[in-house]
Amino acid sequence: MPSAPRIEFNDVSLSYGRPSDGTEALSGLRFSVEAGASVALIGPSGCGKSSALRMIAGLTSPTAGEVLVGGRPVAKPRRSTALIPQNLGLFPWKTALDNVTVGLSIRKVARSEARRRGREAMREVGLEGFEAAYPRELSGGMQQRLAFARAIALDMDVLLMDEPLSAIDALLREQLQDALLDLWASSGHTQVLVTHSIEEAVYLGQRILVLSGHPGRLVADIANSGAGTRSHRDSSEFAAVCRKVRAALDGPRSGADAPSDSVLHEVSGGPANEKGGCSHEG
């Protein structure tokens, strides 16, 4: 795997439509994601989460400011950035293996090499034997794994996921979260996960960026240093960070226009033995 790049948003704003009468989707975003880190992005529907991912992927350009990946402004889609879109983006008319290799074909990888890498990626996510199946023949969880395999086959160093598990029921969702954790730990890529689940954000994000709505602004950047191990879910830090995220989502407070630094929350000795308060799924 190539060494993973750092991602930077430098005062990024995004408007759709014409400057005069367009809608501002994101305003003044400034944050960075360290090389190899996993960051979760959470906020109300319509606050610009998908747009932020599309800018990192090079599919949308900021109206103002710059998005940098590996120190360079993203001018076009990078070869080694994988984006798993909200609807997974699987092609119903292609077999599972052809779905996994589609990104490789676009990148002009030879067919035999693409199929070898595709099979290996399917094995890695536990889908060996399903190469010839069509997406409709796979369960929701398997389709999810197929979308992961597509990213793995690309040999990505940046993985962007847009609410990847929102259609999955709660029990299976925890298993897939574990699979994502293992994938991130073993591959070392830089990762941004958009989710509307507080628990998912706190399980998988070493930092949780909280956006407010209309236009999306960064209202909190919450440290979560315990993320990255399976035992995190059962820790008192997990519960404490869930509460911080919920409080930030519940804003707005007076002074919400202040620079994000002034509302930066640090995890430092929060309530150690309180539990609960983490049931939000929304």
Minimum CB separation from ligand ADP for residue 259, in Å? 22
Give the Cβ contact number of residue 3 at 10 Å: 11
Whole-angstrom CA distances from 45 to 53, 145, 221, 249, 260 are 14, 25, 18, 12, 20
- Per partner kind, with CB cut-offs from 5 to 8 A, the member of ligand ADP, Mg ion, none near residue 125 is none
> How big is the CA angle at 69 (ends 151 and 5), to the nearest 5 degrees?
65
Cα separation of 138 and 54, whole Å?
Answer: 27
- Per partner kind, with CB cut-offs from 5 to 8 A, the member of Mg ion, ligand ADP, none near residue 3 is none
Minimum CB separation from ligand ADP for residue 225, in Å? 26
Which of positions 26-85 make contact with Mg ion (CB under 5 A)?
A: 50
Minimum CB separation from ligand ADP for residue 140, in Å? 21
Tell me whether residue 100 or residue 211 sits nearer to Mg ion (CB atom): 211
H helix intervals, the chain: 49-57, 96-106, 111-124, 140-153, 170-187, 198-204, 236-250
Site residues (CB under 6 A) for ligand ADP?
16, 23, 25, 45-51
Q: What residues contact residue 225 under an 8 Å CB cut-off, 6+ apart?
A: 206, 237, 267
Tell me whether residue 25 or residue 209 sits nearer to ligand ADP (CB atom): 25
Tell me whether residue 61 or residue 236 sits nearer to ligand ADP (CB atom): 61
- Per partner kind, with CB cut-offs from 5 to 8 A, the member of ligand ADP, Mg ion, none near residue 191 is none
Minimum CB separation from Mg ion for residue 49, in Å? 5
Tell me whether residue 25 or residue 242 sits nearer to ligand ADP (CB atom): 25
Q: Which pair of structure tokens corresponds to residue 189?
A: 């890529």
Sheet holding 23-33, edge to edge: 23-33, 7-16, 64-69, 72-73
- Per partner kind, with CB cut-offs from 5 to 8 A, the member of Mg ion, ligand ADP, none near residue 45 is ligand ADP
Cα separation of 104 and 207, whole Å?
Answer: 31
Tell me whether residue 50 or residue 60 sits nearer to Mg ion (CB atom): 50
Tell me whether residue 46 or residue 58 sits nearer to ligand ADP (CB atom): 46
Cis status of the peptide bond prior to 92, with omega within 30 of 0: no
DSSP output for 28-44: EEEEEE-TT-EEEEE--
Minimum CB separation from Mg ion for residue 45, in Å? 7
Instruction: Indicate whether 99 belongs to the interface with Mg ion (CB under 5 A).
Output: no
Minimum CB separation from ligand ADP for residue 49, in Å? 3
Residue ranges in contact with Mg ion by CB under 5 A = 50
